[in-house]
Amino acid sequence: MDYGTLCQAAIQIVKDTGVYIRTERQSFAANKVEEKGIHNFVSYVDKEAERRLVEGFKGLLPSSFFITEEDTVEAAQGEFTWIIDPLDGTTNFIHNLPPFAISVALQHHQETVLGIIYEVTGDECYYSWKGARAYLNGTIIQCSQTSRVHDSLIATGFPYYDYERMKSFLHSLEYFMRNSHGVRRLGSAATDLAYVACGRFEGFYEYGLSPWDVAAGAFLVTQAGGRVCDYRLGDDYIFGKEIIASNNGIFQEFSTLLADMYQGKHLLD
């Protein structure tokens, strides 16, 4: 399989879908939004974008399977499986607030071999494939070289529904506000991970996520020289609903801090 050629073809499908999203945003009305759950929204734009992506990728790999956010196609895994978020950051999209992005990963026998994140508002396409470097609009990117959390800019996401770990989460916010260059919350996990890959953020963490939120971004981070794990320092970060991602320089410090905090340890006097 020529993953490089496949990636370039997939990028065109993603960008064409991005044009559709950008065009619809110009006339979008908030009364066209459905509420799937608390703080969890979907619109006809999400669904139509997903339909276009699925149709396009079926043309590239007719025998492939899909895991998608909006369930426009039956979820199944096979030899080749696309993991798709057609519009990551729907709440941002509803309010016409950047960023919002398309996130696409391709797995071969559960190994991610291709990842694309297209941040629609900035027309920034991040991508890589197995055996390649990571790119932003054709230029090679890599994670930052920062070696201390103290000198890092950290990103996170707010929990939408699982508040049982809120005490640990708020502790992590206070810790990084006091002991780093600051904390940012953009509202799009895919974009957060892309920003780690290109060095804008040193680290990102969040729980309560789904495979389509993180599959492409986690791949991009590793392809750009970073590292990824779950909150127990394991590798169940795609389907395990939690992720820690950072450059290589702060990874041990950053991941250990978060693992300790989410095990209930208080790290501030």
Dump pLDDT digits (tens) for 212-258: 999 999 999 999 999 999 999 999 999 999 999 999 999 999 999 99
Chain region(s) in the chain for CATH 3.40.190.80: 149-262
Query: Has this prediction a pTM greater than 0.85?
Result: yes
The topology under which CATH files domain 3-141 is Fructose-1,6-Bisphosphatase; Chain A, domain 1 (3.30.540)
pLDDT at residue 78 greater than cutoff 70: yes
Q: Give the rounded distance of the alpha carbon of 153 from its chain centre.
A: 17
Q: Are 154 and 186 in contact (CB under 8 A)?
A: no
169: pLDDT strictly greater than 80: yes
- Residue 29 phi, psi dihedral angles, 5° rounding: -120, 135
Element at 153 (helix H, strand E): strand 153-156
Classify residue 235 by burial, with Cβ atoms within 10 Å: 0-12, 13-18, 19+. exposed
Distance CA 166, CA 233 (A): 20
Instruction: Enumerate helices (H) and strands (E) in the chain, giving the number of each.
Output: 7, 14
Distance, in Å, from the CA atom of 103 to the CA atom of 160, rounded to the nearest integer, reads 20
Average per-residue pLDDT in the chain?
94
For residue 158, the tally of other CB atoms under 10 A from its CB is: 12
Q: 35 pLDDT exceeds 70?
A: no
**Of the ranges 25-34, 87-96, 162-171, 219-228, which one carries the lowest mean pLDDT score?**
25-34
* Unique residue bearing structure tokens 């389509």: 212
Are 144 and 202 in contact by the 8 Å Cβ rule? The answer is: yes
Q: Which of the four CATH numbers 3.40.190.80, 3.40.50.10800, 3.40.50.2000, 3.40.50.300 does domain 149-262 have?
A: 3.40.190.80
CATH 3.30.540.10 residue ranges of the chain are 3-141
